[in-house]
Amino acid sequence: MNLEAVREAVAHVEDPEVPVTLVDLGVVRDVGLADDGDVRVVLRPTRLACPARDEMARRVREAVRSVEPDAGVAVEWELSTWRGDEVSGRGTEVLLQIGYSDPGAAETACPYCGSTKVRREGAFGGAVCKVPFSCRACGSTYDALRGSRSLLAGAPHV
């Protein structure tokens, strides 16, 4: 078993909704070998009800088998709260480009003009992991991921 090749393959798996890898999003937590020799991949859901969980698991299994066709693959979902401040710099760059606010920033800002003069447009967006905002400076609407640092308990704008 070439575990390095398996890790490399899993590192290329993208989220089904945004063009960011699951590693850069902080969804892939571990890739290793279980006691029975199966490849064990631990994922952390952005929200327990994330509807993309099945598809993420399918893509991970497919990636593992692309380099180890005969390997058993166990995808495990970790029971923990996903945090936006664990998104990588590369992942954050892509999110900003496609209209999400910086998930690791202490204060939410418009991804288009950078203004912090923004308003939360309700607590629920088009998906369980999204919170809708509008920018008072440039008029754009954008989403923040629910686990963003600026939306965690104790942060302003909660």
Partner 1 sequence: MSSVTPSLDSSGLLSAAEDHFLHGHLLSGWIVDYIDLEESLAVGSIAQEELAHAATLMSVHGLDEVGRDVFVYQRPAQDWRPTRLLAHRLHDWPSTVVRALLLAHAAAVRSERMSASDDPTIRDAGIVLAAEQQLHVMHWERWVQVLGGDARTADELRQRAAVVLPLGGDVFGSASSSSEPTPDRDGHAAWMSRVETVLREVGVPVRSLGDGPSERSPADEQPELLQVLAEIRMLRVEAGFGDGVRGLDR
Site for Zn ion, rule CB under 5 A: 110, 112-113, 115, 135, 137-138, 140
What separation in angstroms does the CA of 5 have from each of 25, 100, 119?
20, 32, 45
- For residues 72 and 132, which CB has a smaller minimum distance to Zn ion in the complex? 132
Q: Which does 71 bind (CB under 5 to 8 A by kind): Zn ion, partner 1, none?
A: none
Binding residue for partner 1, selected from 36, 69, 89, 126, defined by CB under 8 A: 126
The Cα–Cα gap between 131 and 126 comes to 8
Binding to partner 1 by residue 34, rule CB under 8 A? no
Collapsing DSSP states into helix, strand and coil, what is residue 158?
coil
The nearest distance, CB 43 to Zn ion, in angstroms, is 33
The Cα–Cα gap between 1 and 148 comes to 37
